[in-house]
């Protein structure tokens, strides 16, 4: 076996069977190059383990995550209000579509756009009043 092959065994030393470990130990006692190689590997392993662990410590993650989750919760809490607004808008748009169809061709209603705009404004104000002034309004907290 060449030194390169013995070095492969050194890399997997912990997983070698007893016979292979004995052979490796015998080779190491007689080969200075492989001994030096094994020493360099052990030092490298130890040095990298220490440096990597030190680089990751101490962890400041949990408080940071708690803050991020708290922020997320506030946003999430506003979602029902937003969905409620969407529902109101959809309802209002359907009503307006119905009104516009019904009034189509009836001159006495006047300007359709004006009535649509006025209705939308009224519905928006109603929604704002309902959402912002209800008990425990998350949207109000957000604003």
Partner 1 sequence: MDSKDSTFEQFLKTHEGKVLRLCYAMLGNRALAEEAAQEVFLRIWRALGAFRGEASLSTWVYTITRNACLTMIERTKTAAAESLTDPDILRRVQARELEQARREPQTDALAWLAELPESQRQALTLFYLEERSYKEVAAALGAPMGTVKTWICRGRRALVERRLQAELMEKSRSRT
**What is the smallest separation between the CB atom of 60 and partner 1, expressed in angstroms?**
7
Contacts of 29 (CB under 8 A, 6+ apart): 35
The minimum distance between CB 142 and partner 1, in angstroms, equals: 18
Please say which residue, 52 or 91, places its beta carbon nearer to partner 1.
52
Tokens for 17? Answer: 């069977």
Per-residue x/- marks for partner 1, 47-86, CB under 8 A? Answer: xxx-xxx-xx--xxxx-xx--xx--x--------------
Judged by beta carbon, residue 69 or residue 91, the one nearer partner 1 is 69
Give 7 or 103: the residue with its C-beta nearer to partner 1: 7
Q: Is 44 in the site for partner 1 (CB under 8 A)?
A: yes
Residues that bind partner 1 (CB under 8 A): 7-8, 11-12, 14, 36-37, 40-41, 43-45, 47-49, 51-53, 55-56, 59-62, 64-65, 68-69, 72
């Amino acid at each position: 076996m060449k030194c390169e092959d013995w070095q492969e065994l050194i890399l997997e030393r912990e997983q070698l069977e007893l016979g292979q470990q004995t052979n490796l130990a015998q080779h190491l006692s007689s080969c200075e190059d492989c001994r030096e190689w094994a020493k360099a590997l052990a030092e490298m392993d130890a040095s990298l383990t220490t440096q990597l662990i030190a680089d990751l410590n101490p962890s400041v993650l949990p408080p940071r995550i708690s803050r991020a989750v708290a922020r997320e919760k506030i946003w999430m809490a506003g979602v029902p209000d937003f969905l409620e607004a969407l529902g109101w808008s959809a309802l209002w748009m359907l009503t307006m579509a119905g009104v516009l169809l019904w009034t189509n061709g009836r001159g006495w209603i006047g300007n359709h756009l004006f009535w649509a705009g006025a209705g939308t404004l009224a519905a928006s104000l109603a929604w704002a009043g309902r959402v912002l002034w209800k008990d425990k309004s998350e949207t109000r907290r957000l604003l």
